[in-house]
Chain A
Amino acid sequence: MNHWLDLARGPLFAFSLLIMLLGLVRHVVLQVHGLVTRKGPRLARAPWATIATASLSWAVPLRHMGRRTTLFTLASFSFHLGGVLIPLFLGAHIVLWEGLLGISLPSLDGRVAEVLTVLTIVFVPVVAGYRSFVRRARDISRASDFVILLLVWLPFATGFMAAHPALDPLPWTTMMLLHVLSAEALLISIPFTKLAHIVLFPFNRLSEVHWQLRPGAGEQVATALYGEEARV
């Protein structure tokens, strides 16, 4: 079993991380390249201050807690906090990053990490419940939305149990193997699923940039489809 764990924590982990990083870099490169080559000088015309204000209002979404969205806002805010901070700054992960990349990140206080992990473990199922039982959310949910929630939840649940032997029904090595493998499944899925918003979210917010339409493009599209004599 230890052999499997070493394999999972070593080469498999490096492989998953590489897939994730390459996939995310591809997304960012395509975005930046697309914006720079296509928008060019029109980038400067976009209302950047408005874009920044609107985006920052979501960092702590107090302003966005409407009557119908309070629980969902709390749930998604909490699990995003855990989802970003725990993988990077948990004490046990810091050792991993040092061993693999040689960088030493500051570590989260143990109690804070504990709370964040529990919040994530609790609130991911709350979001799944919201998708299942609230009609408006159920109507636009797909199977993949639930699979992705499970992919996010598993590493947290298995990691928490591995760190608390009293709660762990399996041998530690088995649980840790499950933890590492589920985390790797999550990493690999990131660039290919909606989890890509990890890097795409700033680009998603650029609709005001995209309203800076390209001069002449409308005419070119019409000509390509209907020839020089294109009419309304």
Chain B
Amino acid sequence: MATQSIGDISRVPRAHYHIENPALEHKAERFLRAFAAVLQYTDYRPLLDAYSASSARCGRCVASCQVYQASGDPTHIPCYRSHLLLDVYKRHFTATGWLGARLAGSAPLTDAMVDEMAEAFYTCMACRRCTIECPLGIDHGLVTRLGRYILSMAGIAPKALQVSVREQLEGDTGNTSKLPRPALVDTLEFLADEMEESLGVKLQFPLDETDREFAFFCAVSDYIMEPDTLMGNAAVLYAAGDWDRWTIGTQNYDAINYGLFYSDWHLERIVTRLVEEAARLRARTLLVGECGHASRTARQFVPIFGGTNAPPVRSFIEYTLECLEKGKIRLDPEIVTARVTYHDPCNMARSGWIVEQPRHILRSFVRDFVEMTPHGTANYCCGGGGGLVSMDETHAWRMSVAGLTKAEQIRATGADIVVAPCANCKKQLKELVEWHKIPCQVVGLHDLVLQAIDIPGGNTARERQALKSAALPA
């Protein structure tokens, strides 16, 4: 991918974001105190020992970093960024640093250095693409995340993420979108009406049913912003004959976990709440909707934080593929005729386990499917990963720097539709194609499935298409 750098570094937009305590004092002292506590109670010390003692600063990582490729700003080099934290560790928490301070007078941490870290760790989407190209295997995404964690424990965190997590963990609604339970019920009734009208079947969304196979969790924002994705999910469950095997819990219906982006503390509490809700419903499996980071956090951390009887976690994409392969659902290959490409959410592909599954589904019914170059585990991030897409104030930076490579990738495919099974990626990509004037629609995977699925006892995909074209004004 030949990305053109912006060239003049002074013209690169800054990635400013709002923090809750901008006037915080004694930042260096607070940072070191937080760092010491993190080192005492967590497991990061061996990792920091290894990285800080042996990182070679070879610079190979730049070849894979889309932020650096677009900006040309040396502070965006993954290794440069990681060393901001590794050097603090070495200087303040190792014997070598202790010796260096006394023999060579190496400088201690200052407030200005904390400010530099606060900016640097949010000019990285923690997409982990550079990890593939680091000969020493240094996981810059993990270092970025650890830097953000320590910053947040020192009182420095993006306001947008903090406010959402506070509502989710300590607020009345218990979810990041502040969607109260009655509004959820209304939304689901509305979706049921919509589905009755288009699919021709009458159904009621199962709420708080117990002893079902699946407890369904999606990004709560999907209930407000992505009705087609949700109806696609519901259509698969209905068509596969599994309508009485799933449920939505009303005590917790949000799989979003911003803890993955900046805090071990929040990460664990949010995962624990998911497991508790599944246990309350006595569901056997956690079924996670289309959301990259939510899928990854559930899959990776439910087994760790969920105790000995933690339920298995499945992605809805895996479930749909299984239904397709077993012949439980039928997707009509005559419906979607536009050119379609697929964007791999980093947290699903490179840091997850979902690479081929959505492609099998798409290839089964999409006639003109094209891949981006590169794709799969070597994909480029949408440019809004690591929580950045939720911070509206980073918009200019996400469009012109972080998302530049992705925009070029999409344009090069000539696709009419980009499929992205992730709420964050979809928001970023929708803004991106608009900003870069790419004539392309961004949808979820199940939005397309909804168009092509035949409903037993209801309308086939072709009947719905005929109805739709008849309803259009001549």
Tell me the A residues contacting B by CB distance below 8 Å: 27, 30-31, 34-35, 38-39, 42, 45, 54-55, 58, 61, 64, 66, 68-69, 72, 76, 131, 134-137, 139-142, 145, 192, 194-197, 200-201, 203-207, 210-222, 224-225, 231-232
Contact = CB atoms under 8 A, between A and B. Distances in A.
Nearest to A207: B139
Given A27-B53, A204-B138, A224-B40, A218 B265 contact: yes
A210 B50 CA distance: 12
A232 B68 contact: no
B53 A54 contact: no
Interface string B41-66: 11111110111011111111011000
A210 B269 CA distance: 19
Most B CB contacts (10 A, CB to CB) among A27, A205, A218 go to: A218
A213 B137 contact: no
Nearest to A80: B135
Contact of A137 (B55, B58, B133, B170): B58
Interface string B291-324: 0000000001101110000000000000000000
A136 to B, nearest CB: 4
A222 B54 contact: no
A224 B44 CA distance: 17
A203 B50 contact: yes
22 contacts: A31-B49, A34-B45, A38-B45, A39-B43, A69-B60, A76-B135, A136-B62, A140-B79, A192-B96, A197-B56, A201-B54, A201-B137, A203-B46, A203-B50, A207-B47, A207-B139, A210-B46, A210-B139, A212-B304, A213-B264, A215-B304, A217-B264
B142 interface: yes
A207 B82 CA distance: 14
Given A136-B68, A140-B74, A215 B305 contact: yes
A214 B56 CA distance: 28
B88 interface: no
B41 A217 contact: yes
Most A CB contacts (10 A, CB to CB) among B43, B79, B83, B136 go to: B43
Nearest to A67: B63
A232 B57 contact: no
B264 A218 contact: yes
Nearest to B51: A204
B50 A200 contact: yes
Contacts of B45: 34, 38
Chain A interface mostly:
helix
Contact of B34 (A35, A200, A225): A225
B146 to A, nearest CB: 9
A225 B153 CA distance: 8
A194 B53 contact: yes
A210 B40 CA distance: 15
Interface of B: 33-34, 37-38, 40-47, 49-51, 53-60, 62-63, 68, 74, 77, 79-80, 83, 96, 131-133, 135-139, 142, 153, 162, 165-166, 169-170, 263-269, 300-301, 303-305
A210 B142 contact: yes
A64 B131 CA distance: 12
Given A136-B74, A139-B77, A207-B131, A194 B137 contact: no
Contacts of A214: 41-43
Given A64-B133, A213-B267, A232-B266, A142 B46 contact: no
Contacts of B137: 54-55, 201, 204-207
A55 to B, nearest CB: 7
A72 B133 CA distance: 13
B120 to A, nearest CB: 13
A75 to B, nearest CB: 11
B137 to A, nearest CB: 4
Contacts, number: 168
Given A31-B46, A34-B46, A194-B53, A139 B80 contact: yes
Contacts of A64: 60, 133, 135
Contacts of A201: 54, 136-137
A145 to B, nearest CB: 6
Given A72-B60, A221-B34, 17 more contacts: A35-B46, A38-B43, A45-B303, A68-B63, A76-B58, A142-B57, A145-B57, A201-B137, A204-B50, A204-B51, A216-B268, A219-B265, A221-B38, A221-B41, A224-B40, A231-B166, A231-B170
B263 A34 contact: no
Nearest to A215: B305
Nearest to B68: A136
A205 to B, nearest CB: 4
Contacts of A35: 46
Contacts of B55: 194, 204
B268 A213 contact: yes
Nearest to A33: B46
A76 B63 CA distance: 16
B54 A221 contact: no
A225 B50 contact: no
Contact of A45 (B38, B138, B162, B304): B304
A218 B96 CA distance: 28
Contact of A221 (B37, B136, B138): B37
A35 B48 CA distance: 12
A137 B59 CA distance: 5
A74 B370 CA distance: 34
Contacts of A42: 304
Nearest to A226: B153
A126 to B, nearest CB: 13
Contacts of A137: 58-59
Contact of B301 (A54, A207, A213, A219): A213
Contacts of B267: 213, 218
A218 B43 contact: no
Instruction: Give the top 4 A-B pairs by smallest Cβ distance, nearest first.
Output: A218-B265, A34-B46, A207-B139, A139-B74
Contacts of A66: 63, 133
A220 B136 contact: no
